[in-house]
Amino acid sequence: MSVSGPAGDAGVEARCHLLAEMLRIRRFEERCVELYSATEIRGFLHLSIGEEACAVGVTQALGAEDAIVSTYREHGHALARGLSMRSIMAELEGKVDGCSRGRGGSMHLFDVDTRFYGGNAIVAGGLPLAVGLALADHLTGRQQVTACFFGDGAVAEGEFHESMNLAALWHLPVLFCCENNLYAMGTSLSLTESETDLSLKAAAYRMPSWEVDGMDVVAVAQAAGEAAETVRAGGGPHFLELRTYRFRAHSMYDPDRYRDKTEIEAWRHRDPITLLGNQLRASGDLDDAALETIERDIAGEIDDAVGFAAASAIEPVEDLERFVTTMQAER
């Protein structure tokens, strides 16, 4: 479902859909915290709680033919894109029915059917992949968009500048979506970048770029819709700086001692779910009964996904070399 018209003027049905999608991501990740604490999920786990408006807003602008390249904080992107919650939960638990057969875990969700070309554990690692996908579309004349998510920490990497330069030089159909949550792991943006207005960095490569309130899902959907439409029409790469915030630490292993608690609380007052929910209530378009129905449906889907993952098997040892190509060295 796409959101049209000025930000804030999206139809009631569209805004209720946006709210439900953000709640779906939030509740899924909250259950992941419980499962991680119970050691049902192991390894690294990076949550996007607080950033749901970015994932949901951008994906509204994309069609089934478009591609997405993501980061290691990609659960929300994957859910919003249409990967089944069952396959994601099974992947998080390392089960064979996961979207990457349990081999990737939280940081490497992948699904070719939805053109979701992966989370990536390497900071800025997805940027060159997005440029490659867009180059393929450009050379074959396909009117498709590749949306590339990355964090503010990626801006400090060489891949960012190389990818931005090539995308602009070759006029490629890439929508660069920088989720600026102000921290690269535990380091503040102000300590790593002399210019903290990241949209200006993109503008230096002569591509249209602007900042967006990443806590306002309607504003994100509107900006992404306008940008994607222009990119698809041959307007070349565009850059969105989505100014957002993660409410939880960088990962489940992170004690989160680098942020002032008052800062976190101040951002919580701009929770994208609360903001949109309050707007819908104020306009009389959402009541307790409707919200309870949404929550009940989401809880049922999550319970089903958890049960599916629990029943799924771990890949048998004899299959571990499947999909692996080995080369014998000459003697």
pLDDT in tens, 161-174: 999 999 999 999 99
pTM above 0.75, yes or no: yes
* pLDDT above 70 for 308: yes
Distance between CA 123 and CA 110 in Å, rounded? 17
Q: What is the pLDDT of residue 5?
A: 37
Asked whether the beta carbons of 301 and 24 are under 8 A apart, the reply is yes
* pLDDT above 50 for 3: no
Nearest alpha-carbon partner for 258 in 312, 205, 191: 191
Distance between CA 132 and CA 140 in Å, rounded? 12
Task: Tell me what percent of the residues of the chain surpass a pLDDT of 90.
Answer: 91
What's the average model confidence in pLDDT over 226-242? 98
**Residues sharing a CB contact under 8 Å with residue 61, sequence separation 6 or more, in sequence order:** 2, 147, 175, 221, 224, 225, 227, 228, 229
Look up residue 47 and give its two tokens.
């949550």
* pLDDT above 80 for 9: no
Task: Tell me what percent of the residues of the chain surpass a pLDDT of 70.
Answer: 95
* pLDDT above 80 for 251: yes
* pLDDT above 60 for 120: yes
Cα dist from 234 to 138, 179, 207, 231, whole Å: 9, 24, 13, 5
Look up residue 48 and give its two tokens.
């996007």
Q: What is the pLDDT of residue 2?
A: 37
